[in-house]
Structure 1
Amino acid sequence: MRVTVLRLFAVFLLFAACLLSGAPGAQAQIDKRCFTNGAGTRCYYLHVPPGAAAGKPLMVYLHGCDDPIDHPQPTGFSLTRVADEMGFVLAYPLQDPAANKELCWNWDKPGNQRRGEGEPSIIAGITTALIDEFHLDRSRVYLGGYSAGGATTTILGATYPDLYAAIAPMAGAPYLTQPDGQVIIDAMGPRARPMPTYFLQTLFDEISNIVIGRANLAQWRAADNLADPGSAPSIPTDLQVLALGPGVPIPLTIEHYASPRGCELAQFTTPLLAEHAIGAALVQQDHGIEIQRNLMRFLLAHHLTPPNQSC
């Protein structure tokens, strides 16, 4: 029995090494641009899928610490493949080394936790500039990120609910690291509404552990119910157990949280045999493209709704 377990563990380590090596995907046409406002300058990559951009949705993806795809032309970023398949514009902001030497988004600093200030204002500025320039669909604008990018996604979901129709704070943290939903409602102010939210939390994450992920889920469900009472169930309405993909030995559990009106307000995806760095690879590289497709199916199903209304 012990030999079998050791062999299985060795196979898993071999797979993890391949996953983290970042096997290159197809090269996408990505332009590098920069945006400046009163809070500073951040550059970003932009991928526009084939065809006219006007009327397309927009996805903004925020990287984690030490994890920006900047070579200077990113390769192996498989979310560009999903953008081409599903027809959305993709923006990838980059943290400035002068702002954080580890290239983390500064989500834990008070100056970056409010609307109209700091890094949230820059990311929102990139978003609105792209909407205006390319005449994108304002009702289908989305934000997601992993680790520090996931925590920053939570902040922008709370402070710009009138800009993003749905968010994906993956391996992140609750807003202001507090457990209750009222802090989100306070940040939303008169713009308060239920926010459809996609979570990904690896089971063995040693940085943003599964308890933090559950706290993030609970905070957003509480905020949804404050914005629209009874809209967000506290327990899953459906549960799936899936294989990640052919030849990938990482099973997934996917919890679905649908409102009484039939709107799915949350998904909570857990890759069972994975930790923090592998989770980052799964949302950026070809090995995890099925997760990325599912992420974008969830986000793209939602449109921006008026205050105090769920989707």
Structure 2
Amino acid sequence: MTGSVAYHSTVRFLSPRFLAACLLTSAALLSVAPANAQPERRCFTNAAGTRCYYLHLPPGAPSGKPLMVYLHGCDGLDGAEPSGFSLTEVADEMGFVLAYPLQDRTVATNGCWGWDKPENQQRDRGEPAIIAGITEALTTEFGLDRDRTYLGGYSAGGAMTTDLAVLYPDRYAAIAPMAGAPFLLKTEGQPIIDAMGPRARPVPAYFLQTVFDEISNYLIGRANIAQWLAADNLAAPGSAPTEPTSVQALPVAPGLPLPLTVEHYASEKGCEIAQFTTPVFAEHAIGARLVQQEIGLGIQRDLMRFLLAHRMTAPHTAC
């Protein structure tokens, strides 16, 4: 992620022995062979501009299926062919259509989505309008389920996910803004409600933040979920608890190469309005691989189970 905000690393507080252990874990994760998926590459143009994207259709007729739109981080264009993008496997398992928009390097040479630019923080303008346009075009072309459309991303893609969910709460039923940033870099929920306007609704959200993230550090992740829960409660008072209703500690398992702490935030109606997942021994690049490569399939399945459990709700109505 890049932007006007400075992110401060927490790594300086670690012991040399602990850092060595983390580096060994990093080496193991970074050496994993990618999954073998071959989605179709397409391009989309509207008044806001042009972006290409990859499209993956699961087996069977697509009509009536959910749609997941995933936004890469700043390094997502390096070798962007999705042969290493294992969420395609989860799409086949769970039966959802997957779209993977690509930033244009002629617009952003670093490959980052411009989540922090004013023109990308308004509805029907800039990159959000293009991504929302891709979403609408695919929904119409394939007859996808409009009540089960989801959006997620990591790093700059996570921050852009927040922007889009604020600007288009009527389009995305639930979101996954992972290792991102709060909307407008604010801590209170009112800016979200102001931008949502009459469309304001509590939007269920899945957060993932690694403990030792040196780019979007852990405190930014906590600010992100705190702002989102505050906005939920402004949109529908009492819809979101401000503290976890339960916490899990998950050990290493197939598709889960690192231990996790998972916080669950259940609404008064009993549905899960938010989830905050923390891979314990990880930093920014490892987090990206956990949600994009085969070694993290268990996490990706949990992510999609959370999203797919939600359907679009009316304004000011919680799940």
| 1:247 positional shift | 8.9
1:34 and 2:43 matched: yes
Q: Which runs of 5+ in 2 are unaligned?
A: 1-14
Contact 1:57–1:141 (8 Å) recurs in 2: yes
Closer, same or farther in 2 for the Cα pair 1:184/1:7, shift >3 Å? closer
**Which of 193, 198, 206 pairs up with 2:214?**
206
Contact 1:191–1:307 (8 Å) recurs in 2: yes
Counterparts of 1:157-176 in structure 2, within 5 Å, are 157-176=165-184
**Residues 11-64 of structure 1: CA distance to partner in whole angstroms, max 9, x if unpaired?**
542331231234122x22300000011111100000000000000000000000
Closer, same or farther in 2 for the Cα pair 1:130/1:204, shift >3 Å? same
Q: Which residue identity does 1:124 align to in structure 2?
A: A
Work out the number of aligned pairs and report it.
Answer: 305
**Which of 24, 33, 51 pairs up with 1:14?**
24
Q: Which runs of 5+ in 1 are unaligned?
A: none
Aligned equivalents of 1:211 and 1:69: distance in 2? 28
Contact 1:50–1:84 (8 Å) recurs in 2: yes
1:64 and 2:73 matched: yes
Closer, same or farther in 2 for the Cα pair 1:126/1:42, shift >3 Å? same
Q: Which residue identity does 1:31 align to in structure 2?
A: E
Counterparts of 1:225-244 in structure 2, within 5 Å, are 225-244=233-252
Q: Which residue identity does 1:23 align to in structure 2?
A: A
Contact 2:256–2:298 (8 Å) recurs in 1: no
Contact 1:22–1:76 (8 Å) recurs in 2: no
Aligned equivalents of 2:83 and 2:38: distance in 1? 10
| 1:241 positional shift | 0.3
Contact 1:48–1:88 (8 Å) recurs in 2: yes
Contact 2:254–2:298 (8 Å) recurs in 1: no
| 1:114 positional shift | 0.9
| 1:249 positional shift | 5.1
TM-score by length of 1: 0.94
The 10-residue stretch of structure 1 (27-36 or 84-93) with the greater mean CA deviation from structure 2: 27-36
**Which of 98, 102, 108 pairs up with 1:100?**
108
**Which of 261, 266, 273 pairs up with 1:265?**
273
TM-score by length of 2: 0.92
Contact 2:257–2:295 (8 Å) recurs in 1: no
Closer, same or farther in 2 for the Cα pair 1:31/1:223, shift >3 Å? same
Q: What value does the CA root-mean-square deviation take over the aligned residues?
A: 1.6
Counterparts of 1:124-139 in structure 2, within 5 Å, are 124-139=132-147
Show the counterpart of 2:33: 23
| 1:260 positional shift | 1.1
Closer, same or farther in 2 for the Cα pair 1:134/1:246, shift >3 Å? closer
